Amino acid sequence: MHDVLEGVDWEEQPLNQDLVRKANALFSNLPNLNEIRIDQCLRDPKPVENVELHVFVDASKDDYGAAASARQLYNDGSNSPKLVVSKSRVAPI
């Protein structure tokens, strides 16, 4: 949504119709958030061959973000990456 709001003049009246259309599309999809399901278990109940921990970080002087995920490699060749934890901090503008 950030890219939609870029360059918007908040004093503009009436609102740009393209912005109204994009906002209505976003708001109409909000009820679908109830359909999102997140597994709480980090691994499937099958034999594990290997487990990898992947950590991604980025930072600037005022902000940071980090995410860790575990990727299980199973004996049948399949894999299952799962988000373990994430954290971010953005400095106020």
Query: What's the pLDDT tens digit per position in 41-89?
Result: 877 788 999 999 999 999 998 899 999 999 999 999 999 889 999 999 8
pTM: 0.53
Q: What is the average pLDDT across 16-33?
A: 86
pLDDT-derived band at 12, boundaries 50, 70, 90: low
Query: What's the pLDDT tens digit per position in 27-54?
Result: 898 888 888 887 778 777 889 999 999 9
Residue boundaries of the structural domains of the chain:
1-37, 42-93
Cis upstream peptide for 14 (omega within 30°): yes
